């Protein structure tokens, strides 16, 4: 179980997306869950990503500027993963 940094709810790790900030300060999506750096998890809730973008929530979590384009990329990724989960259940994602 992991805590969603946007909603403070707990979800199984496989139902979440990891975001990582590397030591150079780059923030990226970590689909493998193995990239080095400071990681945080968000749930598969596109609306939470929209709210995070308007509130600049990730800037607060990572204490670093996050480009607007990253929120759009994260929204698309989460929306896609949610659709896969809804369609295929747990089969569409590797652990």
Q: In this predicted structure, what is the pLDDT of residue 50?
A: 96
- The residue among 83 and 95 whose pLDDT is bigger is 83
pTM of the entire structure?
A: 0.88
Contact 20, 37 (CB under 8 A): yes
- Delimit the domains of the chain by residue range: 2-88
Q: In this predicted structure, what is the pLDDT of residue 88?
A: 87
Helix ranges restricted to H, 13-67: 46-55, 57-62
pLDDT 10s digits, 13-41: 999 999 999 999 999 999 999 999 999 99
CATH of domain 2-88: 3.30.1230.10
């Amino acid at each position: 179980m992991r805590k969603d940094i946007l909603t403070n709810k707990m979800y199984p790790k496989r139902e979440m997306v990891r975001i990582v900030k590397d030591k150079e300060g780059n923030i990226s999506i970590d689909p493998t869950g193995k990239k080095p750096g400071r990681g945080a998890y968000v749930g598969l809730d596109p609306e939470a990503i929209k709210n995070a973008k308007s509130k600049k929530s990730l800037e607060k979590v990572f204490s670093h500027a996050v480009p607007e384009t990253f929120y759009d990329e994260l929204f698309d990724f989460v929306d896609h993963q949610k659709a896969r989960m809804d369609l295929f259940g747990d089969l569409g994602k590797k652990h």
